[in-house]
């Protein structure tokens, strides 16, 4: 199988959100996070359909999704950066 380079966004430097916690928690603040996620999904759709394929990576980084898969993609792309949520507040 041929290796495909995936368009990746720059490493996310700001606050990140654990999508699993935001979507499954019944705490009051989680409703705010879900509304924020909806806004980010709408922004993702706009960017993606405008041709910005790296917007998908940006969204996935923001919500701590696919971290191991991203590390592999970074290695396949030959870039020397990858980030995990391990040290970030969830």
DSSP 8-state code for residue 83:
-
**Confidence at residue 85, expressed as pLDDT on a 0 to 100 scale:** 56
**Confidence at residue 38, expressed as pLDDT on a 0 to 100 scale:** 95
Q: Which residue has the higher pLDDT, 24 or 63?
A: 63
* Percentage, residues of the chain above pLDDT 90: 44
> Within 10 Å of residue 18's Cβ, how many Cβ atoms?
17
C-alpha dist (Å) from residue 26 to 19, 21, 22, 53, 80: 13, 9, 9, 33, 38
Q: Assign 79 a pLDDT band (cuts: 50, 70, 90).
A: low
- Mean pLDDT across 2-22: 83
Let me know how many helices (H) and strands (E) the chain has, helices first.
4, 0
Burial class (CB in 10 A: 0-12, 13-18, 19+), 61: buried
């Amino acid at each position: 199988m041929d290796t495909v380079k995936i368009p990746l966004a720059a490493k996310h430097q700001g606050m990140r959100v654990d999508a699993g916690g935001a979507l499954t928690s019944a705490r009051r603040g989680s409703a705010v996070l879900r509304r924020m996620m909806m806004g980010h999904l709408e922004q993702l759709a706009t960017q993606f359909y405008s041709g910005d394929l790296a917007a998908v990576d940006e969204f996935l980084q923001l919500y701590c999704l696919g971290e191991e898969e991203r590390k592999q993609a970074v290695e396949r792309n030959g870039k020397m950066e990858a980030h995990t949520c391990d040290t970030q507040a969830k």
